[in-house]
Structure 1
Amino acid sequence: MKKITSLIACTCFTISAFAQTVKPVYLDESQPIEKRVEDALTRMTLEEKVKMCHAQSKFSSYGVPRLGIPELWMSDGPHGIREEVLWDEWNGAHWTSDSCIAFPALTCLAATWDPQMAALYGKSIGEEARYRKKDVLLGPGVNIYRTPLNGRNFEYMGEDPFLSSRMVIPYIQGVQSNGVAACVKHFALNNQEIDRGHINVIIDDRALHEIYLPAFKAAVQEAGVWSIMGAYNQYKGQQCCHNQYLLNDILKQDWQFDGVVISDWGGVHNTEQAANFGLDLEMGTWTDGLSQGKANAYDNYYLADPLLKKIKKGEINIKVVDDKVRRLLKMIFRTVMNSQRPWGSFGTEEHALAGRTIAENGIVLLKNDKNILPINLNKIKKIVVVGENANKRMTLGGGSSSLKVKYEITPLDGLKKQIGNLAEIIYVKGYVSPLTEKRDPKPKIPVGYKEPNPEILLQEAINAAKDADIVLYFGGLNKNENQDSEGNDRKSYNLPYGQDRLISELAKVNKNIVVTIISGNAVAMPWIKEVPAIVEGWFGGTESGNAIASILTGKVNPSGKLPMTIAEKLEDYPSHALGEYPGDHVNVRYNEGIFIGYRWIDKQKKQTLFPFGHGLSYTTFDYGKIKISSKQMKNNDKITISIPIKNSGKIKGKETVQLYIGDEKCSFERPIKELKGFSKIELNPGEEKIVTFEITDEAFKFYDDKQKIWRTEPGKFKIYIGASSNDIRETSEITLL
């Protein structure tokens, strides 16, 4: 309290003093931001500049009280605004006013294949951040889905760089429309949690530029993101939070990024490298607070007193600090010192319903034999719900995305609410995951708690399922360690806690079974032929249960499409097929290069459980004939590709039309096809719309790692339009001259 009071007093005195003289340029919002930055910079002491480059608490950095320049406050939360924590600790501060709305995980957002949903997401979560007086939202994440074992895949947007790029732009724009900086992360190549703090990624330049960087590039050059977070891992033997190649050469020089590079918490390791290799703001170097160092651990950060001493000794040029402070000041003027930014709103029904809409648009109907879904409540009177995930909170745990939510609707809650008295609902757990203090902090694990006997749970579920009209199974993963959680990867591609056996045993006694997977990752499905219906429900946030129930009961027609491939077995993923995951604890080689996900599946002609872009509907869509404005194209030309889509079913529905392009012959090996366009449309029964794509030569380019440029080669290109990467409805050709 003393610290806050003194800051207020100092700021008031400063402003009062300014009122008696001419207003400084840096306080004049009518002036160009660059001019304001330079004016403020000239008024700062070296000590004040250095202080701005590192944290002052767990989630804030220094301002300059003498000049009335405020602190920056940040919040974890790619899916919601994290609860307030103590100044120097991870523990919650026990506020009563910080219970947020949880939005769906970003895999679910990506599964909407709808930029409008991304815009709604960004605007809504940005409003929550603004109301809570957060200046930087630490998200979204756009690391590419390389292995289904990655514990943080649920925080990212799938396996395809084009899909991620198109979805991240409106998210960022929505957040920043609130005067809150988005912080796209983790730059770059953070594709596993095992050894994440030091593993050195060895990758060819072509894969780096074609697969792993495009979403970051779109965030910078198209969305104008105001901050980027470095990754924990290494690239070219340098930590990614201070990396000459990624941060200086690519991000700041090639892409002309004018924002702030923020370290991941604990990602900084060296003063000279942090100063010279592109980092601007050091956060969380000692994540256990003041137990490191002397009276104030923050003064001992690499970009704190050690940096100040090296500058004074002439070992580090003050110009590098000036560049960092320029960027920080620019972000401050864009956010906390922007008097025109809106007030925001928090924990509202509007935000909860926005999250529900996003979840409903992202849930994927994977399989629906004999049209067992939607549930026909005219015929079904006894429903047995099986599975821990039907009644388990999924907003807790998972690492930095763990949330303190205003409320969370489970699938069981949602079903009871929507079905009401139309059918009897019986719930049996069927399996159980271990309770952990980390995952289940409220309530704490009861004294003397013993886990239920799995065999007894199994038998209870089988007995209940025998005479049910339909069995609704809710399983998948959760936010426990070694599941969908930061810090560790999954240990197996199979479902945990004996679920594979449980599903098979249930299918033996009741053929009318619907399996809903709650996860942020693909899972093995050895029982796939034993069940008629499968739904990917994702982690849907506050309104998850209502969204899932809406899909199962048919109140909402499913329209989600997979943002990643679900392979039959782990070895069908190239990172595992080629033997380079998780590496040797020092290096990990991306031997597969550009061939990840569906690119690899196409190349190897492998079968999948469900391909990239797959998703069923309760209605059907007919694809007409492709029309192309010109079959020949020169560089810098634009052509249009159009196709009529008709809803040939009986109910309103949405379809995502996907455009892929393949190079028929090239001096560089290229994938058979690559996603280059998509459009989600809604059609009434019998209605037809023309879907049009505008294509430039950018869609035909590849990265030439010999010349270090993006370029095209003349020749024939195949055009594919379909409902998934493996469900191509129409093809054509274009010749690039």
Structure 2
Amino acid sequence: MIGSLIQPAAAHAIPPDAVARAKMIVAQMTLDEKIDQMHGIKTATQYRVVPGNDRLKIPPLLVTNGPSGVGPGDVVQPSATALPAPISLAATWDVGASRRFGDIIGSETVNVGRNLMEAPTINIARVPTNGRTFEGYGEDPYLVGKLAVANIQAIQDHKVLANVKHYIANNQETNRFKVNEVIDERTLREIYLPAFEASMKEGKSASAMCAFPKINGTFSCEHPWLLTGLARDEWKWDGFYTSDFGAVHSTVESSKAGLDLEMPTGKFFGDELKKAVADGKVTVEEIDAKLVRRFAKMIEFGIFDRPITQTPIPAEKNGAVARALAQEGMVLLKNNGNLLPLDPKALKSIALIGPYAGAAMTGGGGSSKVKPLYTVKPLDGLKSRTTAPISYVDGADIDAAVAAAKAAEVAIVMVGDNATEGKDRPSLALDGNQDALVEAVVAANPKTVVVLKSGGPVLMPWLNKTPALLEAWYPGEEDGNAVAGVLFGEVNPSGKLPITFPRAPGDVPANTPAQYPGIDGTATYSEGVFVGYRHYDARKIAPLFPFGYGLSYTRFSVNAKIVGNVVHVQVINTGKREGSEVVQVYVGSPSTPTLQEAPRELGAFAKVSLKPGERRMVYLTLDDRAFSHWDTPSHNWKITPGQHKISVNGRPVGSIRR
């Protein structure tokens, strides 16, 4: 199939009656009424809202964040279930988990009386120090896309409009409002666009949020090709665009490009838009088309026909789901001598130590921050599972931490970071005295377990001396219960890293100032498609922990063979505990000097849960895209001719000729 083209999938269409009804409403509107519907408002009593129109029975568009649970919405933020960070969800490698995550977000959006959810965040983790790495799903576009589709579908099952973001390449917080990102066509298509393509075509996201950065010189919210040429004309997406807050820089250009709604207010789509109409620079017909797109989606989702209500969130029920999701996302990175799981009955004493051991780590900062319904402290989670005496010190005084560690049978050190929207982390190092704290505690007690609560990769100068390490990410409101449940073996950890952990700062793909944070306002994506593990594999740089890595309290045998384009995988739980394994199928396409390919790219995956001794066959089909590259001269996908090497969970299993 040399040079064959891959045709786009058939697109979703709004029901014709919804479009017809929207057109009838818009036809009755005055120009002032139309302009009022083109932007949000911010007053002392209302925020993140496009007010309704009582005369025409147009309901308000009520917006809420976000990707970690229902976050900032109106002027007063409601309480909601603080789910684990989305990076934790990505570590589950489980589309079922993503659906459960989206189900909570969608149902609670309805509970709090809103109808558009600004989620999911699906930007690729190009720069691990990005302040919003915790908000996304990691570094691989295929994994991100599969999780995004499940999340969107679950949100929209509740007749809530999903708002996939940030379209596109919102990959750094430094200079985020005006950075110009220079990204070649192939890299856009293979790395930064596939998850959005999946979200729009397969996930059928009702809306999308255009992002802050410039892409090759043009701001995203006034980018005709991104907004119209690609999504609407090529992908046949029929949703509507909202802007990120403050991401609009023009009236005429943004309108012509295809932006439908300015948020949070109408700096450019208010009086300036009306003036542009009067001056003949924007037509009424263009505004009508924008309103029809949004109203038709709202009609399709029943928003025009149901009252706005607020109902109590089932805190205990949803909290149980949050706890299970947090546990499924935890990644066991090291477990020398099977120190974990701990035996709650045999334990004599525990020293709980560290700056992240005192309170629940409910999430990162910024617009995704959830006001939790309740929280479970780490100490309370441990105490509910063992009668062993537990001492607690916050680690500020290392001498006190050492004394506590020496006096206890087991030391549990909880360290981490507190990433936030609005700024990137200054480095991959843990801040303050945390590295010194871990070193000192490990030296004082050979039975030390380190629990890492981070929003992404961190450096670990103490790793070689540490017997056990659990990456818990930001566990959410159920932090204490979720972490303790894994430490004591109630739950067998099954998470796999969705992002590479480097050994040294200079090992990352974007390792020059020109690449990140950019020079004179321009960030050049000169690494091309070699992002994340593609970079480490191609450059033969050994990471601290590779993409897809994660241990278990049990053992698995994974054997595979290839039949056509289907990989047949037998998974056997050869250990003594029930557990889950992720089958990861990678494709290594032929590489030439003129068409450089990564040594391997994720082509399919599945998560399998097995009891001890149980075995199961998994059949994973590799579609044409798995064997393809973006051919810039023809502006299309082409299957790369030759032998494509197939590996499963790190082991070669043969090749497929295309």
Does the pair score TM above 0.5? yes
Does the 8 Å CA contact 2:207/2:242 hold for their aligned counterparts? yes
Partner in structure 1 of residue 6 of structure 2:
none
Gaps of 5+ in 2: 1-13
Superposed displacement of residue 386, structure 1: 0.5
Superposed displacement of residue 341, structure 1: 11
* Partners of 1:735 and 1:142 in 2: CA distance: 32
Structure 1 position 522 matched with structure 2 position 475: no
Q: What do the CA deviations read for 1:557-612 (whole angstroms, capped 9, x no partner)?
A: 00000000001011111101585210124100011000011101111111111000
Amino acid at match of 1:721: V
Q: How does 1:578-727 map to 2 (within 5 A)?
A: 580-624=515-559, 626-630=560-564, 639-666=565-592, 668-722=595-649
RMSD: 1.9
Superposed displacement of residue 342, structure 1: 11
Partner in structure 1 of residue 656 of structure 2:
734
Q: What do the CA deviations read for 1:180-209 (whole angstroms, capped 9, x no partner)?
A: 011011111110000000000001111111
* Partners of 2:161 and 2:490 in 1: CA distance: 37
Does the 8 Å CA contact 1:721/1:731 hold for their aligned counterparts? yes
Partner in structure 1 of residue 25 of structure 2:
40
Partner in structure 2 of residue 52 of structure 1:
37
Partner in structure 2 of residue 635 of structure 1:
none
Structure 1 position 463 matched with structure 2 position 403: yes
Partner in structure 1 of residue 161 of structure 2:
181
Superposed displacement of residue 344, structure 1: 7.4
Superposed displacement of residue 392, structure 1: 2.6
Structure 1 position 417 matched with structure 2 position 384: yes
Amino acid at match of 1:670: E
Superposed displacement of residue 64, structure 1: 2.4
Q: What do the CA deviations read for 1:287-320 (whole angstroms, capped 9, x no partner)?
A: xxxxxxxxxxx5xx21111111111221222222
Superposed displacement of residue 664, structure 1: 2.9
Superposed displacement of residue 221, structure 1: 0.2
Superposed displacement of residue 397, structure 1: 6.1
* Partners of 1:47 and 1:340 in 2: CA distance: 25
Structure 1 position 327 matched with structure 2 position 293: yes
Does the 8 Å CA contact 1:100/1:347 hold for their aligned counterparts? no
- Cα pair distance change 1:713/1:404, threshold 3 Å: closer
Partner in structure 2 of residue 144 of structure 1:
124
Higher relative contact order (CA 8 A, sep 6+): 2
Partner in structure 1 of residue 7 of structure 2:
none
Does the 8 Å CA contact 2:82/2:476 hold for their aligned counterparts? yes
- Cα pair distance change 1:650/1:641, threshold 3 Å: same
Structure with higher Rg: it is 1
Q: How does 1:108-257 map to 2 (within 5 A)?
A: 108-257=88-237
- Give the alignment's TM-score, normalised by structure 1: 0.84
* Partners of 2:264 and 2:251 in 1: CA distance: 15
* Partners of 1:83 and 1:490 in 2: CA distance: 23
User: SS where residue 471 of structure 1 aligns?
Assistant: strand
Partner in structure 1 of residue 3 of structure 2:
none
Does the 8 Å CA contact 1:663/1:718 hold for their aligned counterparts? yes
Q: What do the CA deviations read for 1:248-271 (whole angstroms, capped 9, x no partner)?
A: 221222212211110111111211
Superposed displacement of residue 139, structure 1: 0.9
* Partners of 2:300 and 2:315 in 1: CA distance: 25
* Partners of 2:576 and 2:195 in 1: CA distance: 38
Superposed displacement of residue 332, structure 1: 2.0
Partner in structure 1 of residue 348 of structure 2:
381
Amino acid at match of 1:73: L
Q: What do the CA deviations read for 1:358-396 (whole angstroms, capped 9, x no partner)?
A: 111100000101111001234421110111111234337
* Partners of 1:112 and 1:281 in 2: CA distance: 34
Structure 1 position 429 matched with structure 2 position 394: yes
- Give the alignment's TM-score, normalised by structure 2: 0.94
- Cα pair distance change 1:654/1:226, threshold 3 Å: same
* Partners of 2:535 and 2:513 in 1: CA distance: 11
* Partners of 1:326 and 1:378 in 2: CA distance: 64
Q: What do the CA deviations read for 1:411-437 (whole angstroms, capped 9, x no partner)?
A: 222111122x1x111100003xxxxxx
- Cα pair distance change 1:30/1:226, threshold 3 Å: closer
Amino acid at match of 1:682: S
Q: How does 1:255-654 map to 2 (within 5 A)?
A: 255-285=235-265, 298=266, 301-335=267-301, 336-339=303-306, 346-395=313-362, 398-419=365-386, 421=387, 423-431=388-396, 457-478=397-418, 484-576=419-511, 580-624=515-559, 626-630=560-564, 639-654=565-580
The aligned length equals 639
Does the 8 Å CA contact 2:181/2:525 hold for their aligned counterparts? yes
Mean Cα displacement is larger for which, 139-148 or 689-698? 689-698
Amino acid at match of 2:561: K
Superposed displacement of residue 246, structure 1: 1.4
Match for residue 68 of structure 2 among 66, 73, 79: 79
Percentage of identical aligned residues? 38
Superposed displacement of residue 665, structure 1: 4.3
* Partners of 2:373 and 2:608 in 1: CA distance: 33
- Cα pair distance change 1:352/1:237, threshold 3 Å: same
Superposed displacement of residue 698, structure 1: 2.1
User: SS where residue 571 of structure 2 aligns?
Assistant: strand
Does the 8 Å CA contact 1:179/1:342 hold for their aligned counterparts? no
User: SS where residue 176 of structure 2 aligns?
Assistant: coil
* Partners of 2:18 and 2:462 in 1: CA distance: 60
Does the 8 Å CA contact 1:196/1:232 hold for their aligned counterparts? yes
* Partners of 2:109 and 2:194 in 1: CA distance: 27
User: SS where residue 583 of structure 2 aligns?
Assistant: strand
Q: How does 1:18-33 map to 2 (within 5 A)?
A: 32-33=17-18
Does the 8 Å CA contact 1:207/1:593 hold for their aligned counterparts? yes
Mean Cα displacement is larger for which, 105-114 or 399-408? 399-408
Amino acid at match of 1:719: I
Partner in structure 2 of residue 62 of structure 1:
51
Q: What do the CA deviations read for 1:57-115 (whole angstroms, capped 9, x no partner)?
A: 321013322111111000012112225543xxxxx37xxxx321111111010000000
Does the 8 Å CA contact 1:127/1:345 hold for their aligned counterparts? no
Amino acid at match of 2:607: K
* Partners of 2:309 and 2:59 in 1: CA distance: 18
User: SS where residue 66 of structure 1 aligns?
Assistant: coil
* Partners of 1:250 and 1:410 in 2: CA distance: 47
* Partners of 2:517 and 2:140 in 1: CA distance: 21
- Cα pair distance change 1:319/1:361, threshold 3 Å: same
